[in-house]
Structure formats: structure tokens, C-alpha cells
Amino acid sequence: MDAEFVAQTLCLAQGWHEPNTLRALQLGRESNALMAEDADLLIESYRKLRRIEGILRRWSFAGETLLPEDPAPLYRVAIRCGFVRTEAFMKAVEGYRTNIRAVYLKVMN
């Protein structure tokens, strides 16, 4: 959600009418409203989390957006996302979230 807030903040501040989060973030990079390294980190991490969300939704058939707490279903999601171990998957997810939060805090401060 932090990435969407950054995108909407950029749109409001710059007067853009871009409903697509990724395109708004790319516009932020191209216009130098976001530093290139921040924009790249934000875009890559957002894409990865959206990919995981898509896999999770297809796996659950119920529009789930939360990772399962039970180890067996979490392992299956991790495997579908290309990870061999649940721990590596969760570490990657936390890294993506941390990256997005760091850029969010820069933009919002």
C-alpha cells in the first residue's frame, strides 16, 4: 500500500492524471520527482509483491491477499513463487516491504 500512496502523492504533487501505480512511479523517475535509485527500488519491490499477490490469489481461489500462517500452505505459495525454502521466501517478502517502506518514508518526510 505504501507504493500506491507514493504514486498518488506524486500524481497530486505533479498534477498528473495517471491511475496506474507502476506508470506513476515510472513518471516519477523520468521527471526526477523520485531519485532514480529510489524509483528503481520501489518499482522492482512493488512488482515482486504484486507477482506474489497474483500467485496467492490464483492459489487460493478466494481473492486472498494475506500469506497463509500455516506452514504447509505457506510452503506451497513459496514454491509457486520460485523459492525452495519458506524462510528464503519470507526473507525476500520482508525485504520487498522494507524497501518500499524506506522510499515511502523518504517521500513523505
Grid cell, residue 92, equals: 525476500
Grid cell, residue 33, equals: 520527482
Q: What is the pLDDT of residues 66-102, one digit of tens each?
A: 888 899 989 999 999 999 999 999 999 999 999 999 9
Query: CA-based diameter of the chain, in Å?
Result: 47
Structural domains of the chain, ranges and CATH numbers in brackets: 2-108 (1.20.120.330)
Mean residue pLDDT of the chain comes to 93
Region for residue 32 given its phi and psi (left: phi exceeds 0; alpha: psi -120 to 50; beta: otherwise): left
Task: Indicate the SS3 state at residue 73.
Answer: helix
